[in-house]
Amino acid sequence: FTELTHRVVYPELLQKDNQVDLATRNCLVSVRGYADPDRLVKIGDFGLARDVYKNDYYRKSGEGLLPVRWMPPESLTDGIFNKHSDVWAFGVLLWEIVTLGKQPYPAFSNQEVLQHISAGGRLLAPAEYNVMSECWRTEPTERPSFRCLQRTLGQLRESETFSQDERNGHVNQDYQEDGKTPLALV
């Protein structure tokens, strides 16, 4: 989690909005071993992901494809996208990671997700829900900064919440052709 916050803190410090499609489908993870502190997370907005994950996107009339399952109420209703909407998407990204890549709101159609979020509905709570719920505050300015998230997640990582056994149990690892170099797509 902390590696992800490093990737989004820098633009926030420059007071620029990221406005990227923060979702596990757009995260590449390089690992030597899951507990390796030198692992890297790269965040990109891969056009290919839209073709592969068509159910994750919804087309509003006159607009392109929108990742409604990762969008906050103000983006869904008013088309507002800024650093606060990125924090909301980051909360959904955390939920995806904690649930081992489940699609957010799996029982809902995209239209039902739009209605559910607009009516105040949220994702069901995994163990790390407190951090995620802070990202999903209705009032955009009440959402934490990425710097605050980075600090909180760093503290969680050091606490008993994420024991070594739990961290090791949540990785699906695949290897390159040499059979030694790990690859992982979160």
Q: Total domain count for the chain?
A: 1
Lowest mean pLDDT among 43-52, 83-92, 111-120, 131-140: 43-52
Which residue has 């820098």 as its token pair?
A: 10
pTM of the model: 0.60
pLDDT at 172 over 50: no
Q: Report d(CA 47, CA 149) in Å as an integer.
A: 28
Provide the 10 A C-beta neighbour count for residue 86.
25
Strands 27-30 and 58-59 turn out to be unpaired
CATH of the domain at 171: 1.10.510.10
| pLDDT, tens digit (0-9, with 9 covering 90-100), for 96-105 | 888 878 899 9
| pLDDT, tens digit (0-9, with 9 covering 90-100), for 24-50 | 888 777 766 666 666 677 777 655 455
For the annotated catalytic residues, the residue numbers are 21
Pairs from 74-81 (Cβ < 8 Å, separation ≥ 24): 74/140, 76/114, 76/117, 76/118, 77/118, 80/140, 81/17, 81/19
User: What confidence score (pLDDT) does residue 164 get?
Assistant: 38
Residue 12 tokens, joined: 């926030």
Task: Band the pLDDT of 185: cuts 50, 70, 90.
Answer: very low
Domain residue limits at 142: 2-185
